[in-house]
Amino acid sequence: MEKKEFEYGINDKLYIQRPLVLGQISQISKLVRDIEIPENISSHDFINLLGDRLPDALAIALSPVGVRIKDKNLDELAEEFREHMDIETAVEVVDGFFSLNPIVSAVEKLTGMMTTVKKAMTGSRGSLSSSPGETSQSETGSSGRTPQKSASPTSRKGHAGGSSAKG
């Protein structure tokens, strides 16, 4: 399997986006835990739903080139993006997020996790299954690749806000 990544030039700095790792999934889950995310949401709708949290989500998804994920200062990055990222680049990053994390769609997974947590907290466990025989393939996802629905950013528009895909 070929590793994919996207690069974005923001305020004369280069940032890289790769598929999420477990630590980033945890960070994103905490960020959206009180947001109800509908299934099949578009990038634009996801951006609107995040609202003021968008720069924080972008700080989780992007890393400065040469900086390890665990060494990122998320608050500093979020401020950098609030001040210097245009909406076109933000949409490209969100599109890249869905392209790089197509596991039936990262948002659908987050929605499922949040629904499970809410049900567990409210005590309505009736629909939760712990038996493998009671869980369908569509509920658990598959180990195969999921086809991508949309094209990824492929052209570099310049250092100020463009992107380029690397494969």
Q: How many domains does the chain have?
A: 1
Span 19-70, pLDDT tens digits: 999 999 899 989 998 988 887 788 899 999 999 999 999 999 999 999 999 9
Span 69-120, pLDDT tens digits: 999 999 999 999 999 999 999 999 999 998 898 754 555 566 666 667 777 7
Q: Does residue 69 fall inside a structural domain?
A: yes
Containing structural domain, residue 61: 5-120+149-166
Model confidence, pTM: 0.62
Q: Which residues contact 17 (CB under 8 A, 6 or more apart)?
A: 5, 6, 7, 8, 61, 62, 63, 93, 96, 97, 100
Q: Does residue 67 fall inside a structural domain?
A: yes
Distance between CA atoms of residues 128 and 79, nearest Å: 40
